[in-house]
Amino acid sequence: MRFLPEWHVECLAARLLSHLLRMLPGSMNPVDTNRLPDVAPPATQPSAEAPSTGRFAGKVALVTGAGDRGIGGAIAERLAREGAGLSVATIGDPQRLLKRLNRFDQGVVYTQADITVEDDVRRIIDDCMEEFGKIDILVNNAGIAVTSLLEKMSDADLARVLQVNLFGTIAMSRAVLPHLIQPGGVIVNIASALGLGGCPGFSVYSATKAGLMGFTQSLSWELAPRGIRVVGVAPALVHSPMAHQYGTKITPETWKQVEACHPLGIGMPHDVASAVAFLASDEARWITGVTLPLGWAPHFGLPTSFVTDGA
C-alpha cells in the first residue's frame, strides 16, 4: 500500500484503471493503446483551447494542487486564458504549467507548499496577496488517494488522506475568507464521483470527498449573506497520461465495465476545467451550495468488483 500523489486529482483515474485491469475478469486480448475509448463522439469533442472570453478579466484565482498536466493545471490555464491573474500552490514544481501561464499578461505567482501545514497555508495566501492584493476565486483542487481495504489501512495513511483531502481544504477555505472579495467571491471544491457512489478500496477517500460536499453545502449558507458563493464539482474517471500507460494491458471486457458507468465516455481535464470556469464566473451568480456531478450520475453504478492491492 502506498500514497498516490493526486495533486492533479485525476491520478485516481490511473489507480482505478490499473486495479480494474488486474482484478476484473476479462479476455487475454489487450486493448490496442491507439484505440482507447473516445471521450465522446468526435463531432462533439470540445477543444482544450477554450476561447478567451475575458469573463475573468481583473479577477484573481488561487488554485491548489495545480501541476504540469491534469485537472488542476487545466483549471489554472482555463482561468488564465479567460483573463484571471493566477496564484498556483502545489507540493510539486510545475515548470511547464508556469511557462504556459506566463504567456498571459495577467501575472502568475507560484508557491511550493503543503496545504496540511499551517505555515504553508498562510504563506500561500500571503504570496497571492503580495502579488495581486486580492483574491476573487479559490479552487480547492489538491488531494491524494490511498487505495486499501479499511481494515488493512495504516493509521498514518488514514490520517494523511483526511488531512489533505478534507482538513487541508477546510484550512485553505478558512484562511482565504478574510481576503476573499465580498460580494462576488467564489470557493470551488473539487470532489469526486466516489463521494456520491461507493467503490471497494476507496472507503476513506470516498468519505473525504463526501465530506467536501457537505462542507460545500453548509459553508454556502454561512457565506451567502456576504455575497460569497461555495460550489463544487464531482468528476468521474478522467483521461490522464498516467491512465494511458495502462492502455496496453486493459482488456476489452474491463473497458466495458469502466465505460458502463460513464455514459458520455471518459472525461478530459479540460472538461472539468470548463465546468469549474462556469461555476466560478458571474454567469453562475445564482448558484451556490451545490456539487455538480461530471461524466457520471448516481443512477449509473460504479464497479463493485474492484479490489485493492493485497486483498
Q: How far is CA 196 from CA 20, 32, 175, 291, in A?
A: 20, 32, 27, 10
Angle between helices 71-81 and 269-280 (to 10 degrees): 50
| β-strand partners of 64 | 89
User: Quick one: pLDDT at residue 254?
Assistant: 62
Q: Which CATH number fits domain 4-16+52-246+265-294: 3.40.50.720, 1.10.10.10, 1.20.1740.10, 2.40.30.20?
A: 3.40.50.720
Q: Is a pLDDT exceeding 50 seen at residue 10?
A: no
| Confidence bin at 41 (pLDDT 50/70/90) | very low
Report d(CA 200, CA 257) in Å as an integer.
15
Q: 151-182, pLDDT tens digit by residue?
A: 999 999 999 999 999 999 999 999 999 999 99
Q: Is a pLDDT exceeding 50 seen at residue 143?
A: yes
User: Quick one: pLDDT at residue 59?
Assistant: 98
| Confidence bin at 255 (pLDDT 50/70/90) | confident
| Sequence spans of domains, the chain | 4-16+52-246+265-294
Q: Is a pLDDT exceeding 70 seen at residue 26?
A: no
- Residue 237, all three cell numbers: 474517471
Q: Is a pLDDT exceeding 60 seen at residue 88?
A: yes
**Are the C-beta atoms of 64 and 8 separated by less than 8 Å?**
no
Q: What is the pTM of this model?
A: 0.83
Average pLDDT, the chain: 83
**Are the C-beta atoms of 282 and 229 separated by less than 8 Å?**
no
Report d(CA 265, CA 273) in Å as an integer.
17
Report d(CA 245, CA 85) in Å as an integer.
34
The one catalytic residue among 104, 202, 205, 296? 205
User: Quick one: pLDDT at residue 1?
Assistant: 44
Q: Strands (DSSP E) along the chain, which ranges?
A: 4-5, 60-64, 85-90, 108-112, 137-140, 144-145, 186-190, 229-235, 291-294
Active-site residue 205, yes or no? yes
Q: 102-125, pLDDT tens digit by residue?
A: 999 999 999 999 999 999 999 999
